[in-house]
Every structure is written in C-alpha cells, then in structure tokens.
C-alpha cells in the first residue's frame, strides 16, 4: 500500500514532542501499546479458588463491558465536540478493562473474550444493574458515571493488592483511568449543580433516579471474598467522596431506597433489568448472525 511521501521541510511542532508520537503504532486514545500484563505469570496462584476468581473477573468485566456500551451510545450526541473526545476516552478505557478481565476469566473457563461477550445468554451476565441504565440526559450521564467510577476506583485501589497477579495488574492500571473518569464526572456534577437553575434541577432529578441503583454495589459478594478479598469498599468511604462532590455542587443526597432483588437475586446473579435484553440483542447481533465468521 503506497503512501505519499510527505514534505518534511517545514516546522512540525509535533516533532518536538519526543518520540512517543512517532512510534507509528499508537493510534488511539488510551489504548497505548504498553501491555500492563507483560511479564506477569498467568497461572492461578495455589490456594486461590479459580472458579471464584473467574466469576469475579467476569462480574467486574461485565460491569465495564455493559457500561462502555451505554457510553458508546452517546457518541455523536454529546453537547460539545470536546466532550465527544472525553466520553469516547472513558468508553475505550472501560472496554479495555472489560477485555482484560474477560480474558482472565476466559483463561480459567476455557473461553475467549469474544465467546464470553457475544455468545453468553443474558442470565449468565454478572453486571450490576447500574451499568445497564440508559441515561435520559447529560445530567444522568455524569451522575451515573460519578457513582460508578467512585465505587469502581475505590474497589480497584483495593484490588491492586489482590492475590491474583493478573487481577492486581488490571486493577493497578484501572486506578489511573478511573481517577480520570471520577474527576471528569465530579467536575461536571459540580458545574451542573452549581450552574443554571435548569441544570441544578436536572442534576437533582438525575440523582433521584440513579440513587436507588447504588445499594446493589455494596451487596456482599462471596466470589470477591473468596478470590480477591478486596477489603470492604466501605459505604462510608464511598459516601465521603459523593458527599464532597454534592456539597460543592449544592445538591442533596437522595433518600431513595434500592429496588429489591428478584427472588433474592440481582445483577451479579444474572437477574437484570428489562433493558439488558435490548442491550445484548444489539451488542451480540452481528457476531451471532455470522457464527462461523472470522473478524
């Protein structure tokens, strides 16, 4: 494939940025080619329950996969072009986390990341219901992201010391990304809460809609304890972050009650909201329509 030779005889400011830009490989935001799992032994450590580890990685991976899907739906709908880049960044980061986590689970279960993503039935997906929620407006977008990223960041900070080295490496990389996500969401929640009257009302309403989905995040998880023992992501610590943001935003933390489990089961048990079927119908459609294809 021939490429035209480009004229080099004019000042190119990017040439001054060092060789990071000229390696010819890096083509996407947030998906640089340094492999976070390089040099890490992928054998499941002795004494660790491999089944529980796989289920837990699946859970964390599904959270990211489904959440990223909802963010991808916002591409070309963002309120300003700069926000398009920002939201695509976040969606890419979460997709990257999903891939690594599904690969870790898949390595134990004998399946590829794509088999898990595209050929599992809804009841076998382990994401929390918060991840499935379709954001009705920008206020819900940033409010939900604040809740999700604050929780996931605190969790990943703990998991950076997980006994499984692969999960620990994934979590360590995720901490940097989630810090950025939480910061982005927090800044926007403050701007909207303390912006115009309309933005304040929308932001408060969004919190009211989203808050019930928070309870599920702190349900005890046997697989988590068995495989990673992440120390409690304590509710008070999470609330501390949320309350700091809400105070700066001039918003009230809602008093809402979490929706109950269905027959004692929630997202982690494969029992989702009605939105999940539509998400998977779309996400899996092309892969399932071409089961013998190579992509």
Partner 1 sequence: MTEPQWPLYEVFLRGKRGLNHVHVGSLHAADPEMALRHARDLYTRRNEGVSIWVVRASDITASSPDEKDPFFKPSGDKVYRHPTFYEIPDDVPHM
Partner 2 sequence: MTVASEPDLRAHFDETIAAQRRIEPRDWMPDKYRATMIRQIAQHAHSEIIGMQPEGNWITRAPSLRRKAILLAKVQDEAGHGMYLYSAAETLGADRADLTGKLISGRQKYSSIFNYPTLTYADVGVIGWLVDGAAICNQVPLCRSSYGPYARAMIRICKEESFHQRQGYELLLTMMRGSQAQREMVQDATNRFWWPSLMMFGPPDDASPNTEQSMAWGIKRHTNDELRQRFVDMTVPQAEKLGVTLPDPELRWNDERGHYDFGAVDWDELKAVIAGNGPCNAQRIARRKAAHDDGAWVREAAIAHARKNENHDPERTGLTLAVTRD
Q: Name residues contacting partner 1, limited to 163-182 (CB under 8 A).
A: 180
Nearer to partner 2, 90 or 130 (CB): 90
Q: Binding to partner 1 by residue 196, rule CB under 8 A?
A: no
The residue within the footprint of partner 1, chosen from 56, 67, 184, 211 (CB under 8 A), is 184
Torsion of CA 167, 168, 169, 170, to 10 degrees: 50
Closest CA to 176 of 190, 156, 158, 161: 156
Question: H-helix or E-strand containing 70?
Answer: helix 50-72
Q: Binding to partner 1 by residue 149, rule CB under 8 A?
A: no
Closest CA to 140 of 90, 206, 186, 213: 206
Nearer to partner 1, 18 or 236 (CB): 18
The residue within the footprint of partner 2, chosen from 194, 216, 221, 269 (CB under 8 A), is 194
Question: Which of the choices partner 1, partner 2, none does residue 184 contact, using the CB cut-off of 5 to 8 A by kind?
Answer: partner 1
Contact set for partner 2, span 127-166 (CB under 8 A):
137-138, 153-154, 157-158
Contact set for partner 1, span 26-65 (CB under 8 A):
26, 28-30, 32
In angstroms, the CA 131 to CA 236 distance is: 22
Q: Binding to partner 1 by residue 220, rule CB under 8 A?
A: no
Closest CA to 37 of 158, 171, 162: 171
- For the chain, helix (H) and strand (E) counts, in that order, are 9, 0
Q: Minimum distance between the CB of residue 52 and partner 2, rounded to whole angstroms?
A: 22
Q: Binding to partner 1 by residue 200, rule CB under 8 A?
A: no
Three-state SS at 199: helix
């Amino acid at each position: 494939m021939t490429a035209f030779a480009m004229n080099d005889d004019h000042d190119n400011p990017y040439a001054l940025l060092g060789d990071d830009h000229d390696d010819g490989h890096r083509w996407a935001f947030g998906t640089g080619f340094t492999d976070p799992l390089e040099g890490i032994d992928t054998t499941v450590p002795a004494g660790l329950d491999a089944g529980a580890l796989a289920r837990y990685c699946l859970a964390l991976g599904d959270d990211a996969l489904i959440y990223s899907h909802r963010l991808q739906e916002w591409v070309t709908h963002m309120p300003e072009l700069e926000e398009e880049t920002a939201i695509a960044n976040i969606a890419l980061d979460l997709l990257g986390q999903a891939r690594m986590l599904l690969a870790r689970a898949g390595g134990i279960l004998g399946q590829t990341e794509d088999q898990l993503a595209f050929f599992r039935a809804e009841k076998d997906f382990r994401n929390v219901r918060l991840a499935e929620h379709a954001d009705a407006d920008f206020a819900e977008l940033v409010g939900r992201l604040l809740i999700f990223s604050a929780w996931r960041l605190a969790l990943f900070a703990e998991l950076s010391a997980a006994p499984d080295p692969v999960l620990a490496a994934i979590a360590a990389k995720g901490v940097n990304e989630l810090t950025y996500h939480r910061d982005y969401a927090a800044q926007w929640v403050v701007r909207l809460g303390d912006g115009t009257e309309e933005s304040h009302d929308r932001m408060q309403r969004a919190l009211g809609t989203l808050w019930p989905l928070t309870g599920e995040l702190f349900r005890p998880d046997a697989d988590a304890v068995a495989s990673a023992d992440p120390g409690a992501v304590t509710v008070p610590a999470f609330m501390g972050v949320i309350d700091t943001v809400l105070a700066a935003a001039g918003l009230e933390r809602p008093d809402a009650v979490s929706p109950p489990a269905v027959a004692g089961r929630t997202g982690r048990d494969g029992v989702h909201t009605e939105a999940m079927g539509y998400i998977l119908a779309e996400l899996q459609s092309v892969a399932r329509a071409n089961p013998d294809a190579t992509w």
